[in-house]
Amino acid sequence: MRILIISLSILVSLNAIAQDKLDKILMTNGETKTGNVVGISDASIEFVHEGESLKYSLKKENISKIEFSSGRIEVFNKTDQTDGEASLADHHNKVAILPFVYIRDGEQKKNDAFERKVQQEFLTLMSGHVGILNIQSTNETNAILAKGGINDENFIQFTMPELANVLGVEYVVQSTLEINQKGSTSYNSGVTNAKQNNAKDKLSIFSSSSSSTQLQFETNVNMSLYNDNGDLVWTQKKQSFWPNEDAYLQTLKFLLKRMPIYTK
């Protein structure tokens, strides 16, 4: 009897977990449908509403995007706007990249220019790889944050929906870049030359040597993507393979290709 009760409890828990993993379809008219995408063709999406079994066919031309339960996002069309919905609709299909939290040798460098430098570099990498999504310029993002009094000192006081609403975007990219010096490597090299002026002169040998030191770094990037409801859509942390100081650039490329909004 006890085993039966435990088995039933497990089945109920698994069923609850399964129900939480639903797909969301945002229509171009602003309507959101929740359920499961069960098929896809060139012109339509086969969809079953949450709690139902009847299958519906939705035309792709009426779909703005699909947020799959796996976290992947597929964008189809822009959302329609009416005057009354313009403020809310303006959020749709817009992405803002926050200034990177920059940690150097275990210490956060607040209000450092490098935060904005990496922010701009990542925007450049994203450009052309997010489908019909619009990326807010870093200048606009930073100006809005400054006007709203949001900075490194009080950033923790704001929720992600509040930030998305202030910035007027649907998605917010939040990242931390940590670079720690891990030591150095020394290199030595030597060159030997022999010279004889004529047949009677002795052979002259000249030697020279040089040395150089290369600093070694450990770089980690932690990146997350949130929507304007505050949901964590995707997150991943990656340690750079290369030990050079600018290895973070290759790591940003790696993470970008794994974001659910990335397109080739």
pLDDT for res 207: 62
Scored b (16 or more CB within 10 A) or e, 36-66 reads: bbeeeeeebbebbeeeeeeeeebeeebbbbb
pLDDT for res 26: 83
pLDDT for res 204: 61
Single residue among 17, 47, 80 that ends a domain in this structure: 80
What is the spatial distance between Cα 127 and Cα 135, in angstroms, rounded to a whole number? 7
pLDDT digits (tens, 9 = 90+) for 8-24: 444 444 444 444 579 98
The CATH number of the domain where 66 resides is what? 2.30.30.100
Q: What percent of the chain has pLDDT over 70?
A: 77
Q: Are residues 107 and 73 in the same domain?
A: no
Instruction: Over range 125-134, report the average pLDDT.
Output: 94
| Residue range(s) defining the domain that contains residue 123 | 94-181+215-256
| 34-37: Cβ within 8 A, 24+ apart | 36/69, 37/66, 37/68
Q: Are residues 243 and 134 in the same domain?
A: yes
Query: How would you classify residue 93: left for phi > 0, otherwise alpha for psi between -120 and 50, otherwise beta?
Result: left
pLDDT for res 69: 84
Q: Is the pLDDT of residue 199 over 60?
A: no
Residues 173, 223: contact at Cβ < 8 Å? yes
Q: Is the pLDDT of residue 35 over 70?
A: yes
| Band of pLDDT at residue 183, cut at 50, 70 and 90 | confident
Q: Are residues 168 and 44 in the same domain?
A: no
Assess if residue 57 is contained within a domain: yes
Instruction: Over range 51-62, report the average pLDDT.
Output: 87
Q: Is the pTM of this model over 0.75?
A: no
Assess if residue 188 is contained within a domain: no
pLDDT digits (tens, 9 = 90+) for 97-116: 999 999 999 999 999 999 99
Pick the range with the lowest mean pLDDT from 90-94, 143-147, 160-164, 167-171. 90-94
What is the spatial distance between Cα 36 and Cα 25, in angstroms, rounded to a whole number? 9
Single residue among 80, 115, 149 that ends a domain in this structure: 80
Q: Are residues 160 and 227 in the same domain?
A: yes
What is the spatial distance between Cα 247 and Cα 239, in angstroms, rounded to a whole number? 10
> What single-letter DSSP state applies at residue 100?
P
The pLDDT mean for the chain works out to 83
What is the spatial distance between Cα 208 and Cα 213, in angstroms, rounded to a whole number? 18
pLDDT digits (tens, 9 = 90+) for 68-93: 887 788 888 866 654 444 444 568 88
